[in-house]
Chains A and B, each alone.
Chain A
Amino acid sequence: MRKVAIIGVGSSKIGVRNDVNVAELAFEAFKPSVDDAKIAPKDIEFVAVGSTGAGAWYEELLPAVVSAEYCGLTGAGLVRCEAACASGSAAFSTAYWAVASGQADIAAALGVEKMREIDTPTMMEWIGRAGYYLWEFHNFGLTFPAYYALYATAHMAKYGTTEEDLALVAVKNHKYASMNPIAHLQNRITVDDVLSSMVIASPLKLFDCCPTSDGAASIILASEEKVKELNIDAPVWVAGVGYASGTANMSKRLDYVGLEASVLASQKAYKMANVTPDLLDVAVVHDCFTIAEILAYEDIGLCKKGEGAKLLREGQTEIGGKIPVNIDGGLKAKGHPIGATGCSMIYELAKQLREETVEKSRQAPMKNYIALAHNVGGTGHYCYVTILRR
């Protein structure tokens, strides 16, 4: 297996992007990523596209082909990866393996999602169906906030986590999003704002939930030989890739106080990268709902089981704390364009590791130059954990 580096990253502005179609949005992320890598589209031999709502919440059934044509990539090896909300990470790992195996010297992972072309109840319907339609949606109308609310209720009952603790996740992530010009929600909020927002699925309220976002992110990967040949000055190396899955039926999970797929995927990634959680300088975790960030702290080993809320209350996941988490605003406030999110996480970490976040106020201090991305698909149906190192 060859060493693989990230040599270029790009992102669109995330938000309500009714000014562009899916291919145009992909272009917005792709163009800066090839400029960053100082290559041309023809240099890319393999492209993995992450997108989830093709033909459902947006009109194109084959977003990989329309995006590839629009970006000048026709002819390259091409695939669309689906791993629900972790589709971007699935695309990233697919592109990674293409280069690591020696099959391609340069590959691209392109995450793109258009979620705002349909109305909100229809979006709730589509995403609610993303679990086990027959057994959990057909008769019971589970929504995504409801699925995560089941975890919140259980975590609160077992560990004494409170609604105020959940609110602190939203407050922190909105604070960092306010410093991130590509973020969907750039307003700062208070604990009271969260607690007084409308109930979506108890105990989760509106401000416990990520927004429904459009967005794209593009990552260019290359072999060590190509990195030398292209004179890349700040390659970011892919040190570990871990993945795992969970049951389709929520009723068959081990318990409701953590995501087993996150535990397994992170263990694999740490092992491959030969690092431990205490060596991380920065992490992005899957905070589609506030409870999910607390579960992630525990599942990926940033703290012991049941101590996620404590870690948060102590400010240890802020810049200046033990391990800054989601200092791009997270899914919660940067936004969650489902199939793009995994690539958007890698985009953020590459910028952090290269110490070139546009906004110095949210640059994590680098000691070991090691970063981790944790991306969950569905309600723990899939999980991808990626460890990067400069």
Chain B
Amino acid sequence: MAAMPSIKSREMKIVQDIPISKTLQFWEGLKQGKVLATKCKKCETVYFPPAADCPKCLASDMEWIELSNEATIETFTHVVIRPTTFQQNKPYTVAIGRLKEGVRVLAWLTGFKLSEVKVGMKVKLVAKVSSEGNPTYEFTRPE
């Protein structure tokens, strides 16, 4: 189709400063190799991603706990067509894994050939700092 006549909108660059004060321990923990969750002191519900406030009983008194690193894959996908800010990355595999604490984690899965990845497979959850310098976490092959 021939391009239709148009005018360019004004260009603007948008970067947001996302507050992490209330979950700072989590982000710091990742740098130290730990994946932390929160646990409500009142109703004992465990939250991952970590929450500073409890949606279940509305209390705000939480404790930090370190998650076990054994996970079972519930589902996964290999992302080939990537968004703008992931164009520099190679295609990546995203998985959702369940931990024994009952919470699930969504993260990249590395260290496997795609054909090896199966629902029900055991994997290991690890904290790391990404190549871009962002604290993050991923699933990988258990030792």
Asked if A367 is at the interface of the complex by the 8 Å CB criterion, the answer is: no
User: Which of B81, B134, B136 contacts A145 (CB under 8 A)?
Assistant: B81
Q: Which residue of A has the minimal Cβ distance to B77?
A: A149
CA distance A140 to B4 in the complex (A): 36
Asked if A134 is at the interface of the complex by the 8 Å CB criterion, the answer is: yes
Residues of B within 8 A of A200 (CB): 80-81
Asked if A16 is at the interface of the complex by the 8 Å CB criterion, the answer is: yes
CA distance A248 to B87 in the complex (A): 25
Asked if B24 is at the interface of the complex by the 8 Å CB criterion, the answer is: no
Which residues in window 58-92 of B have CB below 8 A to A? 74-87, 89, 92
User: Which of B1, B9, B78, B106 contacts A59 (CB under 8 A)?
Assistant: B9
A153/B86 in contact, CB under 8 A: no
Residues of A within 8 A of B80 (CB): 198-202
A154/B75 in contact, CB under 8 A: yes
The verdict on A201 contacting B48 (CB below 8 Å), with A135-B106, A150-B75, A157-B75 known, is no
Which residues in window 195-248 of A have CB below 8 A to B? 198-204
Asked if B107 is at the interface of the complex by the 8 Å CB criterion, the answer is: yes
CA distance A141 to B108 in the complex (A): 9
Segment of A102-110, A121-129, A301-309 engaged in the interface with chain B: A121-129
Segment of A91-99, A249-257, A331-339 engaged in the interface with chain B: A249-257
CA distance A121 to B79 in the complex (A): 13
* A–B Cβ pairs within 8 angstroms, 25 of them: A16-B1, A117-B6, A121-B82, A121-B84, A134-B49, A139-B107, A139-B137, A140-B107, A142-B94, A143-B81, A145-B81, A146-B77, A146-B79, A150-B94, A152-B77, A153-B77, A154-B119, A157-B119, A201-B80, A202-B80, A202-B114, A203-B77, A249-B49, A249-B106, A251-B96
CA distance A204 to B48 in the complex (A): 28
Residues of A within 8 A of B48 (CB): 251
Q: Which residue of A has the minimal Cβ distance to B4?
A: A18
The verdict on A150 contacting B77 (CB below 8 Å), with A140-B108, A141-B92, A250-B106 known, is yes
User: Which of B81, B104, B130, B137 contacts A124 (CB under 8 A)?
Assistant: B81
Asked if B15 is at the interface of the complex by the 8 Å CB criterion, the answer is: no
Q: Which residue of B has the minimal Cβ distance to A139?
A: B136
The verdict on A150 contacting B84 (CB below 8 Å), with A202-B78, A249-B49 known, is no
A151/B75 in contact, CB under 8 A: yes
Given contacts A140-B108, A201-B80, 15 further A-B contacts (CB under 8 A): A122-B84, A134-B18, A139-B136, A146-B77, A152-B77, A153-B75, A153-B119, A157-B118, A198-B80, A199-B80, A200-B81, A203-B77, A251-B49, A251-B96, A256-B74
